[in-house]
Structures are given as structure tokens and as C-alpha cells.
Chain A
Amino acid sequence: MLWLEGTPLAMMVSHGQFGFPALEMIHVTATTFVFGMITIVDLRLVGLLSRDSGVGNLYRDVIPLTWVAFVVAAATGILLFISQARAYSVNFAFQMKIAVLLLIGLNMLLFRRFVYPGIAKWDHGAAIPLAARIAGALSLVGWITVVSCARWIAYLMV
């Protein structure tokens, strides 16, 4: 962790005039964007969004954009992390955030592997299978938790 903080890139973020605040601004905005986009798919999966539009089409509309925002959030997040690697790695809110992010990733992998391939049966109008509803609900709760933990990081910094 100490080595990470000493890398030239980390030094640029932590000692540059605007490095940290500028990256943080982009990080927060990208994360906010990810949450707003993924919520639309999650609510459709849970069944709280009109069934007029097929799940598959909505998924293909929303997910690519969400990935772009996620990559921006992750890249800026890594830079923010290395600037104060020691403090973040022992921060409980940060640890929780990363753990929940991993769980969200697992949830997404399981959804893609086991639920999404059978989408043709319930894409339009039909009742959404329980597995898809659970995946949507878990994702929604997960992302709310990630944003909550992220906000708490600053309050728990020592």
C-alpha cells in the first residue's frame, strides 16, 4: 500500500494542484450515472416498470452505456484509491463498498449465465420469473448500498 502511494501516478493525484478534487468530481458523477441507469433495468426486472417495452431491448439500450460510466468510475476510483491506499484499505465503508461491488458482479454473472439466456420466454408482456426478479432486487439493493458506503468513506477517514 505504501508502495502504491509512492508511485508517480499516485503522487500526481495526491500532490497535484487539482488532481484529487477533479478526479473525485468525475468519479462521483460517473457513479451517480451508473446508479440512475442500472435502476431502470432493475425496476423492470422486479416488475415495477411498464411491460410495454421488452426486457431484452431495454437491457441492450441501457447496459452498454452503464458499462461506459462504470469504466470511468472504476478508472477514476483506482486513481483515487492509490493516492491514499493505506487510509482507504483500512476504511470500513471502503471495504464494504468493494465487497458489495464484488457481490453485484457475482449477481450479474449468475443472471447472465442462468437467467438471461431464457429471456425469449418472458421478454414481452409475460410474468417475469422469480430468479430474474431476485437478481433485479439484489442489484438495486446492492447499488444503493455501494453509493451509501461510498458517501460514508469520507466520514470514516482517519
Chain B
Amino acid sequence: MTDLLLWVAGLPIGPSLRVFSRFVPWLQIVHILANGIILGGVVMIDMRVWGISRSQATIAMARRFQAWIWGALAMLIVSGFLLIFYTPRRALIDLAFQVKMWSMVVAIAATVALLFALRSNSKAQADASWLAGLLGTLTLALWVFVTLAGRGRWFALWMSRMLQ
């Protein structure tokens, strides 16, 4: 992961982008909004999976929120990559950042697994399987963790103390 980040930070377009550092707050805002849309999409799918959704009669209706998740994830990644150019040192050194990246990889994998588990009963009005329920809960927990880690100075502080 560190190698990948070093490579991204070292790309020749970095310096030319840094001229536009006044865009940093706006990129961060896009990044936060995209994060929110992912959380919203996961919660909507989960509500159906847990059987507490009034608005989604079928699992197929819930699965439509995957378009939100992937669209927002694209926004999240593009804005995130651009932010690495602006603050490469922070991205590379900050432990919370590393934790965020790795937990995001796991969260994406869990999301894919959840959507895959829902494919089998996408048409019927049936209840989701216990596996989908478990994956749904795990996916939400992971994305919440990723969001927390996104502002994880507390976590970084705690970890650096633990490691000392």
C-alpha cells in the first residue's frame, strides 16, 4: 500500500496540481459527501435485508441502491486520489490513513459479497438469507469504521502511544 501511495504521490502531475491547492477544501467536501451517500445506500440495502424496510417490498428494489454505492465510491476514490497529491506526506506517514485505506479495501469486498449474496433472491419478495443479514451488518460496520478512520486523528494518537 505504501508503495502504491508513493507511486501516486510521485507521479509527474502532482506538482502541477499543487498549484491549485485552494481546491483542497472543496475536494474534501466532495469526499465527505460521497462517503455519506455510500453510508446511505448501505443502510437502505441493510434495512431490507434485516426485514425492517417499509418502502422496499422486494430485495430487487433494495439492490438498486448499489448504483448509489458504486457511483459514490467512484467520487470518493477520484477525490481521494487528488487529495493524496496535495498532502502526500500526511497520506504516507499518518497511521490512521493506512488503517482507513485497508479497512476500505475490506469494506468494498464485504459490499461485493453482500450484493452477490442478494442476487439469488433478487426477484421474489422473500426474506434475505441469514448470510446476507450477516454480510449486511458487517458491511455497514466496516463503512462506519472507514468513515471514523477518515477523521481518525484520535485513532492515530492512540496507536502511536501503543506502539511507543
Contacts and interface: CB of A to CB of B under 8 A. Distances in A.
A119 interface: no
Q: Majority SS of interface residues in chain A? A: helix
A53 B36 contact: no
Contact of A148 (B29, B40, B56): B29
Bin chain A's interface residue count: 20 to 34
B43 A65 contact: yes
Q: Which of A26, A29, A37, A58 is the most central at the interface, judged by chain B CB atoms within 10 Å of its CB?
A: A29
A94 B44 CA distance: 31
Contacts of B25: 151-152, 155
Interface string A4-38: 00000000000001100110111011001111110
A25 B152 contact: yes
A32 B154 contact: no
Contacts, number: 94
A54 interface: yes
A151 B39 CA distance: 19
Interface residues of B, number: 34
B153 A53 contact: no
A113 interface: no
A12 B118 CA distance: 46
Nearest to A60: B54
B97 to A, nearest CB: 14
A70 to B, nearest CB: 13
Contacts of A54: 55
Interface string B49-66: 000011111000100100
